[in-house]
Each structure stands twice: as structure tokens, then as C-alpha cells.
Structure 1
Amino acid sequence: MPVHRLTPLLCLLSIWRILTTVSGHPHVGPCQLIQRTALCNNRKLSSVPEGLPENTEELQLNYNDILTLQNKSLLRYPSLTTLSLACNSLKKLESNTFQDSKWLVSLNLANNNLNSSYQESSLALKRLPALRFLDLSENGLEDDMVSTLLQNVTSIEYLNLSGNLLRRLDETSFRDLHHLKELDLQRNLMFEIDGAFDSNPNLRRLNLAFNYLPCLTDFHMTNLVVLNASHNFIEWFISRQDLNETFQLETLDLSDNKLIFFPFLPSQNKLRNLYLSHNTLRFYEHLSDNATLPNSSTTVEFYNLDKDLHNVTAQLWDDSLHGDISALEILDLRGNKVEYFPQGFIRKMPILSRLHMSTNCLETLNFTSENFSCSLYELDVSNNHLNLISADNHTLAALGNLTYFNLSRNNLKMIPSGLFSSLSNIRSVDLSYNNIGVCLKKTATFTNTLSDCVNWQNIVSLRQLHVMGCSLQTIPASAFAGLSLTHLELSNNPGVIMRDSLRSLSETLQYLGLGNTQIQNLDFSAFRNLKSLNLSKNSLSQIPRSLQSVDLKVLDLSDNNLSSIPLGQAHVLASKLQTVFLTGNPFNCCQAEWFRTFDATKTVTLVARSEIQCKDIFQTHRIKDSQRFSCQEASESMLWYILLLVPIFLSFGGMAIVAFLAFKPKLLKKSFKKKYLKPTSY
């Protein structure tokens, strides 16, 4: 996985101690003592406490109100090796603060305001001959401030400058840090790093993530092992091609940039992990054919790469420029615009174990011609435009290590027969959202024939199968015979007929997805090992009683037609469940005892609890607001009272009108005459 934060182990330990509550240790004033460590965090201190033991080696003063570290502050503690003052609004280190701190190795000054008096603070840092770990992150520091603070601090090996205001680095920025091994510069405003690391031959880990770098050219840091340049605006990565040295680079993270071309890697390197996800990268081998595009150029020109280099012209696909990728184990190309693999590209990675190609533009996948590595463990080509897979038995037999295969969200309608049964160690297959069915009868096992369905029987290594949204209509009773599936996802196949196909999995199944399948009656009592069940979007009016005998931990009943849950059933489920989804059901507010049962059980999490709604006789409420419900004590519907009262009111109204007219007969006669006894026109 890409590493976006390079924090020294000592800093991680310090943070752990800040967050961990320690009890059973002696207190000296506001501080807590653990052997030779004094924990004085979050005590509203305005200065360094004076009453601590003189042999204190570690002093934690994070989250206090210290604005100035005075000259005399640390004189009582000459044995200090670790000092942490993070989050203090600290503005200044007086020049003689560390005059007697010759053993101080680690200094954490993160999240302060050292930009206010950085000149005097720099004088204090010069008095630390043993300092190896320095954290100056989030101090509002600019380029010249950092250069001043780090001047002549030659012993530093681990430096954190993340979260500052650095814009441009040059050869003077770190020129005195000859022992520097790890440097964190993420989350600054950098757009240029011209020769900034030429004076740091021991630098091994460099984090440049979340900046504004437009390119990385003339890369010649031969001793660097990890480079994280993710989340920038990099369009080109070009390494120095004229060096005979072997680059020690093992991990290169260029994800979330604007790369157009595959990076121009060193011709000799040890690169194992290459992360290129979420760029605009594609291959241009097809442009070399001038017959296809007679007016196109097959070269690209680079100008002003360096003051000592002339202009460079390179072929769009030149193996010497793209460097050595023979040691790659992980290649992440997710979220790019790759339409195909150049000829021989996959073959150049003989020990590749993980290839992530989701969300690209691949149309074909040819196992035979690509010659995938026998070390391949994980292959993800989901969310592409695949409509054809080519394979033969010999090629697939060589993929004995392939365990995870994701083909979801493509345009597949036919696949080679026996594709998955030929993979001897396959454990997880995702075919979701393709138009591939489950074979009703046994099919050929030869991969040179195509089929619109898959025969899943007797693939003994398979444990997880996802066929969500595949327009499945019928799953035969023997579909999963000989399998030991633990996870089966069948959701979003509305109306699918299963014909007892799940019975053979009752002993092994742990997760079952049946959301939006229109399922109504299914006996779950035999699924003794089932832990997670998705029954969402099925118009269920009641929870299957058979679930009471299953030791479920997660149950999704969202978007059904549940008006209530019987109290007895609620008690049984609440005693077993850990997570339950119930939003999107038309619950009756007047029958909400089940909710109070779940709510009172502290071991159950009601997901989106505040969004679960119910209706009473007047309106819709959030079910947690039980004091607002309008319900009758006897649980009778108000409709019956309305139907009873309406005739009574009508009767009284009619009697009132008759009585009124009886006492005013002339008014009735006058009204009758006015309306009906009108004079004629002749």
C-alpha cells in the first residue's frame, strides 16, 4: 500500500503515550511519572515544571499553553533525551534554552508558531549536538525560515516539515543535513525543488505528497528507497538515463497526479512497488505506425530539463527510457486511460504479484499473448470495457498462484469455458454486472470454446463468489455442488429462481447477499455458520422466523416493507446481532417496542439510527423521537373513532337545521318563493 506519511517510530510512540491513559504511577505536581518519563500533557501549563526528578529522560508537554521556552527551563534536566512540545502555540525558543541538553535526541515542536521568532529559535537548535529527530510540522514556516532554522544542525536524521508554507526549495535548503535519512515535506505549497537534495546522500525516504509540483525531471537520487510524490500536478517523471549506478528505489508513488506517459524509470533499479493510480496515463505504441496516422509524430521533445543538459528527443515508446521494471511486484494503474498493454509489456515483469487495472479502457484481455507472470496473485480488471477474454489451458495452468480475480463491471457476454476451473488456487472471483449466467448443465472444460455461462461445480479452492447484477434467472439445484464457499453475493438479480441451490453451502457459508432478489420464503435454519445476511430491497413484510436459530452478527433489512418486529423475535435477534440495517421501512410508530429493545441492547449497532422512520396517525417521525408519537393506549386506530363520530355530527347538524326552520317558517317560505316562484317573461 502507498505510504503517505513518513513519521519516525519515536514520534509514533510519543503520540501513543499522549493518547493512552496511564494510572497507578506517582504524580509530581501536574505530571505523571513512569520510570524516567514525565507525562505533563494537557495540563494548562505556561512553563516547564520545576519539581521533576533530575534524571528525567523523556518529558511530554504536549497540549499546554507554553509560549516561550526560556533559557533556564531545562537546566534541571540535563539527562533529557526526548522532549515533546507539540500543540502549545509556542512562539520562541530562547537562544540558550538547550545549553545543557547535550543528550537530547528527539525534539517534537509540531503545531506551534515558530515562524514568529525563527531567528532566535535557530540559535537554540544549534546547541543540540546529538539531535536526530526533529518535528517542525505545522509551524507556518516559509522557505527562508526553514533554511535559517536548519543552518548548522548537522546531526539530524529524521525531519518532519509537513503542513508548512514551503514553496520553492533549492540547493541551500538542506545543505547542512549530511546525515538526513528521512524527510517529510507533504502538505506544503511547493512547486519547485531545484537541486534541493543534492547535499543529502544518505536520504532514504522522501515524502512530497500533497504539493503543487508540475513535474519531476532529471531524477538522480540513486540512494533513495521510498519516494512518495502522490497528490501533486506531475505530468512527467523522467529519471537520469546516463548514470551507470543502480538506483536503490524500491517504492515509487505517483498516484493522483496528471501523468500522461508511463514514467521514465531508471535503466538500472530495484523498483518493487509502483503506484500510478488516478492519472491520465495511457500507452501510445499504436502511434508509431505512420500508416495509421500519417501526420502524427512518434517523438516527444523535452526542453530545459537542466542547465547542463541539451534538449532531449525521445520515442513515445522506448524501452530504454521507460527503464527496468523486471523487479516489480505491485503495479497499480487504477483510474487511468489504458486501452491496451504494449507488446511484451507484461512479459517484462516476471515476478509481478499484484496488477490493479480497474477503471481503465481495456477492451480485451489476452492471457496467451500477454504471458502473465506465474507469480501473479491478484488481478483486478474491473470497471473496464472488456468484451473478450482469450486464454488456453496451458497458459492458465501456469497461473497457479492467482488467488483473487476481479472482472466486475465490464461488457462480458461470453467467456472461455473452464476459465476459473483451470485456476488451481483461485479463492475469490467477482463477475458482478456482466451478462454471464450460471450453467444449467455441465459444460465443456476447454478454454478454447466460449460460453455465456459458468459451471461453478467442484472448484474446490473457491471461497468467495460475487455475481451481483448479472441478470440471473435460474440457479440450478446442483450449481454449487462440491464448493466450500464462505461468501456468496447474489444481490440485484430480481426474480432469480434458486431451486435449493444454496442447500449444499449450508455448512460453510458465512456471508450471503440476497438484496433485491424478490425473495420471500427461504429457510435459513440450516445455515449454522452464517454471520452476515443481506435481505435489503425485497419488500419483506416480516422477518423470516428461521433467522432466530442462526447466530447472525450482521443483518441488512433496509428498504423492505416492515411495519413492526414482533417483540419476541426482537429479543432473540438483539441477543445475537452486532449490526443491523433498518432504514427505508414503513414502521408503525404505535408498535415500536422492538426499537426500544434493540436500542437498550448495548451490543447492537443500529446503522443510521437517526434515519429510521415511522408513521403515526398524523405524520412521519424519526423513530427515536418516541415522545412525539400520537398513539392510542389501546393501540386502536383513530380511523374507527373518526368513522364513529362523523354520523353523530351529521345527525346533530341535521336536527339543528330542522329545529331552526321549525321556529322560522316564514324564512323557509320566503327562500322557496325567491328561488322557484319567478315571474314569467310574457
Structure 2
Amino acid sequence: MPVHGLLPILLCFLPVWRSLTPAWSHPHSSQCQLVLRMAICSNGELSSVPARLPDNIEELQLNYNAIQTLKDASLSRYPSLNTLGLACNKLEKLESKTFEGLKLLESLNLASNNLYIGYQETGLALKKLSRLRVLDLSENKLDDEMVVALLQNLTSIEYLNLSGNLLQRLDEASFRDLHQLRELDLQRNIMFEIDGAFDSTPRLQRLNLAFNYLPCLTNFHMSQLVVLNASHNNLEWFISRQDLNDTFQLDTLDLSNNNLLFFPFLPSRSRLRYLYLSHNAIRFYERFADDATLQNSSATVEFYNLKTQAANVTARLWDDGLHGDISSLEMLDLRENQMDYFPDGFIQKMPNLSRLRMCTNCLDSLNLTSEQFSSSLYELDVSNNRLSQVSADEGTLASLGNLTYFNLSLNDLEKVPVRLFSSLRSIRSVDVSYNNIDLCFPGEAEIDTHSSTCVEWSNIGSLRQLYLKGSNLKTVPTSAFTGLSLTHLELSDNPGLILQESIEPLSRTLQHLGLGNTHMQDFDFSHFQSLKSLNISKNSLERLPSSLLNLNLRVLDLRDNRLSTIPSGQAGVLALSLQTVFLSGNPFNCCQIEWFRTLEAAETVTMVDRSVIECEDLFLITHRVAHPQSVQCIDERGESIVWYILLFVSGCLFAVVILAFVVLAARPQMLPKSIKKNYLSIRLSDTL
């Protein structure tokens, strides 16, 4: 067949051949890496779009370059593009015909540029993208007016990122064309008002308003929203519409780090599962109305200027209807508020509650029986409150069969129910640190059948982690931990603690042991072959316990002891297994820091406080071990240069004295003459 007869057939196969040809066979810029149909041209100091890439690429990444203007037709060679990344360039504008011919582009990243300069022409360019679904305009110094211009007619957008801009106020015009919008990120702007901005976004499900300056969120009626993050604002109120019959789809609501004074007024019909309210000023006020000592007190509050509300609202401070539906809550985070009690029935309204975090509040008592926690409760944290007592009957404790993590630390507890922990059949972690609860000797807890000043921990089969820091413990009974399979035991900050043989039953299972600030001097760790983490800080240790060398430790805390050095052999053994070590606060000898070089040379060891580890030289001058300067040390033969200097000087002085005696002995007449001469000169000066 003649060649011209084959030409039409070859042309027919050309598109197939092009799709099968590997990307590396095309000429392309040296700054780019081609992977299948993706071109990665980031970090290449490019000032324009590369023109010699394969024309069938579907993704082009041009992030971290120096492109200032995206010119007309600069992308027309790549009609198959569906993803384009231009983040962290110097883009000031996109010319109006930049995207002509790009009918398939769905994802565009323009983050961290200077689009505020040429936003009007950039807006004209974006209008050509009829299939655009993902758009990132974050950190471009855009204000309210600029955003409106950029988003006109982008009806296909589903994900929009406007974080880190200069938005102050949103209204009906802000997103009026974004009918398909599902996720919107507005965090880290300077917004202080939102007025009807989301009325045109009926499909919006995820909204991030964090790190702004919003004073309140009222008339909340976005029933389709699934996730709302309004943390780190200045919110004093969150009030949802109470007159809507729709069931709100809200699953997660984050109002943490605000100025909320009241529990939020949630929708009357809700599926809310996760509610984050930490770092506010929330408390309940109904007790104030019942306090006869407070004159003119009231159990109602009035809300004014609610805009769309026909009239002002007056409601009880604790009203089940106004505060909404919390029956689906699984997580309630109320850390660092001002709550001093739970209103009657509050806990009962959350039958599915599995995590309650109440640390750093003002609770003075906890009655597990009257509160009626659900059997779903998995985590209960009431640490750092003012608890003086915990009450519970055996039936209540038996019903809490799912409770696994219980934190009562940093309270004022002196008594607890006798079987508070032994009746919790799933309990794995208990923290009663910094209370005045002692360890029971055999039979001691049975003296009082209701409450006791001590706790008996033995034979709690499910318990794995026990924290008893700062509990004024003096002696640990021999049988204290029998029948336990603890992996974590924390006994630090109990000065003068006598352990005896009480923790040896844990030798097979214990992985973390805290004995910091217990005044321990010597301890045989050789039995604890499973130990991975050990804290023996603040114990005035002058040498490293030799029994540590038999362990396979990963973490070792030796801070604030009296170690002058660590023998090289010991440091070498530790370096074989250690991953993290703390060493600051020891008076190390600058002339014996071979251990530091050994640990520093071990690539697997991290000295967390490396920059602040100090040592002293022979003149008691302090140096940083990592950068010792002008340190006088002992030479290789074990003799100090300083001693040589002192010996030389003293020898010279001795020689001078001997020489003087020899001279005077040889010429004894010189001594009287010199004395007489000095005497006469003194008398003459006195006479004058």
C-alpha cells in the first residue's frame, strides 16, 4: 500500500497513540515532574505557565512560584485540565480570557496571592468556568465588595474557601449566586456582622466562622447545616429559632472560646451529637432566684433587638423549650466555664451522653445518683473543680457499666464512696491526683460502709491506668496493687513515699511509672522488664540507678536531680533504646560530658530540653552543654592544667623567698642597713 494510503489510517490512530504515550516522551520544562496526567511544577520560580507540557494533562500544580499575571490563552494548550493549583504565587490578576477553552476545570486554588489588586478582571475570568466546583481564594486581602465581584454567576461552586481575608460584614448579596454551595470556610477574617448572607445557600452543610469578631448569633434557622464552627469569636449569645417545625440536621456545633454567659438556646428539634462550649463564662442562674438573700432577683431574662423577631422575648433562665433539644447529645464539652451545679433534670435530658468534660469549673459536689447519668457514659472529667464529696449508691455505680475514663483530680476530696471504683466494671483509667484520698490497708475501707478516706484498688481487673500524684501518700501497703494489671502508675509528687515491695506485682504489665519528687534514692527496676517510660525527676539523685540498664526504656525523665555526669558506658547502653530523654536542672560537670556526645550522636534519641542543659566548670561558671566555651578541663593523664599553673606560681614564690634568704645570709650587713634606711626615711617624713 502506498504511503499516502496509510496516512488517513495513521491520523485516525493518532489520538489513541497520544493517550498511550508516556508523559516523559513529550518535551517539557525541566522544572516540572510528570506523573501520569498530572504535571507538578511547584517551587520552580516560574514567572509564567510552562508551554511545552503534554497537552493531555488533567492536573497542573504551579504552587510556590513567581507568577504575577495569568495571561489570556496561557492555558489554552491544556483543554483537558480539571485541577489547577496556583497557591502562593504573586498573582495580582487573571486576565479576562484566561480560562477560555477550559470547559472541564472543576478545582482552582488561588490561595495566598494578591488578587485584591486586579479583582475586577479576575472576576470576569472566573465567570467563564461553568463547571467549577472547588475554589480557594484564601489569604488574598479581599474585602466584602471584592468578594461579591469575584463570585458573580459561579452557580456551580460547592466548596469555597475565603479564610484569612478582610471580610467585615456579610449580607444578602455576598453569596446570592452560590445555590450549590455545600462547604464554606470564613475563618480568620474580621467579621462582626452577618445579615441574611446564607439565605441563598440552601445546600450549605459545613460552615466555618472561627476566629472572627462576631458578637452574637441570633435567629439561627439554617436547618440543613450539619457542622457549624463559630469558635474563637466574641459571642455572648447563641439563639436559634424556636418556632420552626423543621428538624435541624446539625450534628456538630463548636462555640468554644467565646464570651457566652448562658447555655446556648438550641433548636427545639435537633439531631445534635457534639456540642463544644469550653472556654466561656457559662453558668446556670436559677438558684439566684431561689436565694432569699438576693433582693430583686429574677428567674427570667429579656432579649431585645432580635431583628426579625416581632417582639422582645422574655424567657426563664432554665427553660426546657427555649434551650432546645439535647436528647441526641453524645459529647458535651463544658471545660473552663463557671458552672457550680447542674439544674434539675439537665443530665437526664441527654440519654445518649457518652462524654462529659467539666474540668475547671466551680462544682462543689457530684451526686451520681440524683443526676442519673445514662448507661452510655464512657468518659467523665470533673477535674479541677471544688468537689468536696462524691455521692453514689451501689445501684447507680452498677448502672454505669460503660464508664471507662474517670478524672477526679485537682479537687478537695477527702471521702469517696467505698465501692466507687470497684463497682465500675469497665473502668480502665482513674485519676484522683491532688486530693486527700489515701490508699487503704486491708480491711480499712470496711469500717465505714458508705464513704471512706481511702480507696482500695486491689482486684479491679479492668483497671489499666491509675494516677495518684500529689495525694500526700506516705506508705503504699504491700497488697495495694495485687490483682491489678496496670500499664500506667503515676505516684509523683508524694515526697517521702515508701514503696517497699508494693509495686512488684505490677512488674509484668507496667509500662509507665512516675516516681518524680518522691525523695527516692535507690530502687531496683530490674524486675520491670515491660517498662517503657520512667519519671524519676526531682529526686536529688547523684548517680543513675544501674538497674535501668537492664530495661528497654523509650522515655526517661531525669530532670532536677544532682547528676554530675553519666558514665559513658551507661550512656551508650541507654542510647540503644531511648527515644526521648529529659536532663535539664542537673549540675553536670563540663569536663565530663562524653555522655552528651554519645546521646547526641544517637539518631534515635531526642533530648527534649537539649538547649537548656547546663554544666559547671572548675571555677563554678555555668555553661550550656550544647555550646561549652573556654572550659578548663582535666587533660588525658587526669591532671588539671589549673593545678600546673598553681604549682608553677607557688614554686616561683617559694624560689623568690629562698633566694632572698640566701642573699641575706651571705650579706648579713644588708639587713640592718636596709632597716635603718627605712626607719630614717619614715622619721624624716614625720618631721616634715
TM-score by length of 1: 0.93
Q: Give, in angstroms, the shift of residue 309 of structure 1.
A: 2.3
What residue in structure 2 maps to residue 504 of structure 1?
Answer: 505
Are 1:392 and 1:447, in contact at CA under 8 Å, matched by a contact in 2?
A: no
Q: Give, in angstroms, the shift of residue 307 of structure 1.
A: 4.1
Equivalent residue of 2:572, what SS? helix
Q: 1:545 to 1:24 in 2, by over 3 A?
A: farther
Residue of 646, 651, 655 corresponding to 2:654: 651
Counterpart CA distance in 2 for 1:647 and 1:122 is 88
**Residues 602-617 of structure 1: pairs in structure 2 closer than 5 A:** 602-617=603-618
Q: Give, in angstroms, the shift of residue 182 of structure 1.
A: 0.4
User: How many residues get paired?
Assistant: 658
What residue in structure 1 maps to residue 670 of structure 2?
Answer: 663
| Match status 1:223 vs 2:206 | no
Equivalent residue of 1:628, what SS? coil
Q: 1:86 to 1:446 in 2, by over 3 A?
A: farther
Counterpart CA distance in 2 for 1:274 and 1:446 is 43
What residue in structure 2 maps to residue 631 of structure 1?
Answer: 633
Counterpart CA distance in 1 for 2:629 and 2:602 is 20
What residue in structure 2 maps to residue 7 of structure 1?
Answer: none
Q: Give, in angstroms, the shift of residue 288 of structure 1.
A: 2.8
Equivalent residue of 2:322, what SS? helix
What residue in structure 1 maps to residue 28 of structure 2?
Answer: 28
What residue in structure 2 maps to residue 75 of structure 1?
Answer: 76
Q: Structure 1: which amino acid aligns with 2:28?
A: V
What residue in structure 1 maps to residue 60 of structure 2?
Answer: 59
Counterpart CA distance in 2 for 1:642 and 1:388 is 69
Counterpart CA distance in 2 for 1:216 and 1:385 is 32
Counterpart CA distance in 2 for 1:506 and 1:613 is 34
**Residues 95-494 of structure 1: pairs in structure 2 closer than 5 A:** 95-289=96-290, 291-444=292-445, 449-494=450-495
Deviations 1:577-603 (A, max 9, x none): 111111111111222222222122111
Q: Give, in angstroms, the shift of residue 653 of structure 1.
A: 5.2
Q: Give, in angstroms, the shift of residue 174 of structure 1.
A: 0.4
Counterpart CA distance in 1 for 2:24 and 2:478 is 63
Q: Structure 2: which amino acid aligns with 1:630?
A: Q
Counterpart CA distance in 1 for 2:598 and 2:345 is 63
**The 10-residue stretch of structure 1 (79-88 or 558-567) with the greater mean CA deviation from structure 2:** 558-567
Counterpart CA distance in 1 for 2:448 and 2:74 is 77
Q: Give, in angstroms, the shift of residue 568 of structure 1.
A: 1.6
Are 1:162 and 1:184, in contact at CA under 8 Å, matched by a contact in 2?
A: yes
**The 10-residue stretch of structure 1 (506-515 or 615-624) with the greater mean CA deviation from structure 2:** 615-624
Are 1:418 and 1:446, in contact at CA under 8 Å, matched by a contact in 2?
A: no
Percent pairwise identity = 64
Counterpart CA distance in 2 for 1:127 and 1:447 is 80
Q: Give, in angstroms, the shift of residue 274 of structure 1.
A: 0.3
What residue in structure 2 maps to residue 4 of structure 1?
Answer: none
**The 10-residue stretch of structure 1 (600-609 or 33-42) with the greater mean CA deviation from structure 2:** 600-609
Q: Give, in angstroms, the shift of residue 294 of structure 1.
A: 3.4
Counterpart CA distance in 1 for 2:448 and 2:552 is 41
Q: CA RMSD in A?
A: 2.3
Counterpart CA distance in 2 for 1:563 and 1:270 is 61
Counterpart CA distance in 2 for 1:662 and 1:485 is 92
Deviations 1:130-158 (A, max 9, x none): 00000000000000100111111111010
Q: 1:678 to 1:151 in 2, by over 3 A?
A: closer
Counterpart CA distance in 1 for 2:448 and 2:80 is 72
Q: Structure 1: which amino acid aligns with 2:438?
A: G
Q: 1:646 to 1:94 in 2, by over 3 A?
A: closer
Residue of 624, 631, 635 corresponding to 1:622: 624
Are 1:61 and 1:85, in contact at CA under 8 Å, matched by a contact in 2?
A: yes
Counterpart CA distance in 2 for 1:410 and 1:627 is 48
Q: Give, in angstroms, the shift of residue 610 of structure 1.
A: 2.2
Are 1:418 and 1:445, in contact at CA under 8 Å, matched by a contact in 2?
A: no
The higher radius of gyration belongs to: 2
Counterpart CA distance in 2 for 1:677 and 1:193 is 102
Are 1:98 and 1:128, in contact at CA under 8 Å, matched by a contact in 2?
A: yes
Q: Give, in angstroms, the shift of residue 27 of structure 1.
A: 7.6
Long gaps (5+) in structure 1? 1-22
Q: 1:191 to 1:33 in 2, by over 3 A?
A: same
Q: Structure 2: which amino acid aligns with 1:28?
A: H
Q: Structure 2: which amino acid aligns with 1:504?
A: P
What residue in structure 2 maps to residue 567 of structure 1?
Answer: 568
Stretches (4+) displaced over 6 A: 23-27, 673-679
Are 1:57 and 1:80, in contact at CA under 8 Å, matched by a contact in 2?
A: yes
Q: Structure 2: which amino acid aligns with 1:281?
A: I
Are 2:362 and 2:385, in contact at CA under 8 Å, matched by a contact in 1?
A: yes
What residue in structure 1 maps to residue 540 of structure 2?
Answer: 539
